[in-house]
């Protein structure tokens, strides 16, 4: 006979379930529904390598919320994936509830928006960043729910006090995992041509930007990381040519 599913109160209004591989998805789903009658939140901690428990948690209607690192669970210390369902969550049988469930565990990709701004001599505007040694194009991370085109205009205004609408998309560059970062997509938009004296209008966000200057391609190669230099050259090569795709600038 299979042991009952463990139900433990871990905080006011919060219960945590634990089950064995012998328990079916239907059994876990019923236990989740029963617990939500008296508690607003039901959760479970699942080991990252336990694919079966992850599937059971998902198809019993529990949303993946993230990873808690270095916790004690099941008599062992390690990382645990947190799944939970709230009494206020939409029923999984409704379209919105099912989409929210899928959205909680499907992969999410970080996006970075940058702007290629040139002067009348085809030099490229680069920023020396305070938090790393190499130079880069102006721009930054796209916020949740924000369009990349809006993001790059916002970042350029915040960093340099230049209000430049994003022009055509020149390049989509995939960045592989590197130095503790997950992979990301970098979108480079055309910022058009500015007069050389436009730098006089720049007001640097000193917390992030140490210096700004227009650079030749050779200067870009000398000042920027190799993958950034490749990205700049790929974007320049695609001016007027429609969106292109590269991986780490190649």
Note down pLDDT in tens along the chain; length 250 residues: 578 999 999 999 999 999 999 999 999 999 999 999 999 999 999 999 999 999 999 999 999 999 999 987 777 789 999 999 999 999 999 999 999 999 999 988 999 999 999 999 999 999 999 988 899 999 999 999 999 999 999 999 999 999 999 999 999 999 999 888 899 999 999 999 999 788 988 999 999 999 999 999 999 999 999 999 999 999 999 998 877 999 999 8
What is the span of the domain harbouring residue 30?
6-105
Q: How many CB atoms lie within 10 A of CB 249?
A: 20
- Both 160 and 38 in one domain: the answer is no
> Do residues 78 and 71 make contact, with C-beta atoms less than 8 angstroms apart?
yes
- Both 101 and 159 in one domain: the answer is no
- Which of 81, 105, 129 is where one domain is finished? 105
In a domain, 201, yes or no: yes
How many CA atoms lie within 13 Å of 11's alpha carbon, on the beta-carbon side?
5
- Both 203 and 219 in one domain: the answer is yes
> Do residues 28 and 60 make contact, with C-beta atoms less than 8 angstroms apart?
yes
In a domain, 118, yes or no: yes
- Which of 105, 127, 154 is where one domain is finished? 105
């Amino acid at each position: 006979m299979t042991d009952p599913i463990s139900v433990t109160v871990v905080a006011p209004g919060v219960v945590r379930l634990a089950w064995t591989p012998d328990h079916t998805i239907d059994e876990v789903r019923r236990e989740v529904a029963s617990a939500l009658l008296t508690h607003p939140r039901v959760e479970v901690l699942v080991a990252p390598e336990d694919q079966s428990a992850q599937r059971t948690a998902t198809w019993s209607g529990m949303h993946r919320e993230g990873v808690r690192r270095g916790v004690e669970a099941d008599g062992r210390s390690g990382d645990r994936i947190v799944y939970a369902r709230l009494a206020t969550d939409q029923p999984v049988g409704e379209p919105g509830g099912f989409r929210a469930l899928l959205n909680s565990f499907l992969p999410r990709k970080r996006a970075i928006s940058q702007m290629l701004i040139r002067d009348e001599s085809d030099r490229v505007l680069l920023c020396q960043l305070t938090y790393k040694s190499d130079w880069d194009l102006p721009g930054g991370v796209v916020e949740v729910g924000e369009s990349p085109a809006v993001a790059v205009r916002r970042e350029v205004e915040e960093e340099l006090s230049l209000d430049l609408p994003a022009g055509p998309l020149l390049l989509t560059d995939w960045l592989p995992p590197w130095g503790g970062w997950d992979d990301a997509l970098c979108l480079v938009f055309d910022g058009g041509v500015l007069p050389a004296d436009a730098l006089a209008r720049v007001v640097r966000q000193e917390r992030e930007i140490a210096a700004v200057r227009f650079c030749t391609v050779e200067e870009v190669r000398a000042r920027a990381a190799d993958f950034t230099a490749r990205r700049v050259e790929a974007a320049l090569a695609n001016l007027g040519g429609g969106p292109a795709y590269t991986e780490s600038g190649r």
